[in-house]
Amino acid sequence: MCQLTYFYFFWTRFTKNSPKLRAWFTWIQALGEVHVIVSNEATTLENVGQFGKFSKTGDFFNVQTKSLDMHIRHSMIASVFALREPSHTDGKEVLSFQFFDQRGGAAFKVFLTFGGKDPEPERLSRYDEIIE
């Protein structure tokens, strides 16, 4: 018997230069410290930090705080999924927003919880507010 482990509660699609993308980053900023993962075929980068200090330079939407420095080709971001799933390490509930490019590849993932303990009620409530 196969057990379903992923629960997709919400997704949205972006168009080129979508103002919705900035809104997502602002919502994530309000959540405080998050765990960001960016991965490609050769490297996986994980960083704990906070979104903020947004700017736009050419094709890049920038997130540049003391703890997080990202330069996102915003026109390449096509969609975001909000996921609730059990952690692969300990089964605790994991909350994340996962951004995908136009070809369906993962652009980056933002985790509000990363296992180890269940989400705090306030963080879970804010997560639910964003996806409603």
Tokens of 22: 């900035």
Strands (E), the chain: 7-13, 34-39, 44-49, 54-57, 60-64, 69-73, 77-86, 93-101, 106-111
Which of 116, 73, 113 lies closest to 95 in space, CA to CA? Answer: 113
State residue 16's pLDDT score: 56
pTM of the model: 0.85
Query: What type of residue sits at position 4?
Result: L
State residue 28's pLDDT score: 93
Q: 62 to each of 3, 8, 59, 70, 71, how far by Cα in Å?
A: 39, 27, 10, 6, 5
85-110 pLDDT per residue, tens = 888 788 788 899 999 988 889 999 99
Fold of 7-131: Heme iron utilization protein-like fold (3.40.1570)
**What stretches in the chain show pLDDT beneath 70?**
1-19
State residue 12's pLDDT score: 66
Q: Please list the alpha-helical segments (H only) found in the chain.
A: 19-30, 121-131
Q: How far apart are CA 29 and CA 72, in angstroms?
A: 15
Ranges of each domain in the chain? 7-131
State residue 13's pLDDT score: 65
Are the C-beta atoms of residues 95 and 85 closer than 8 Å to each other? no
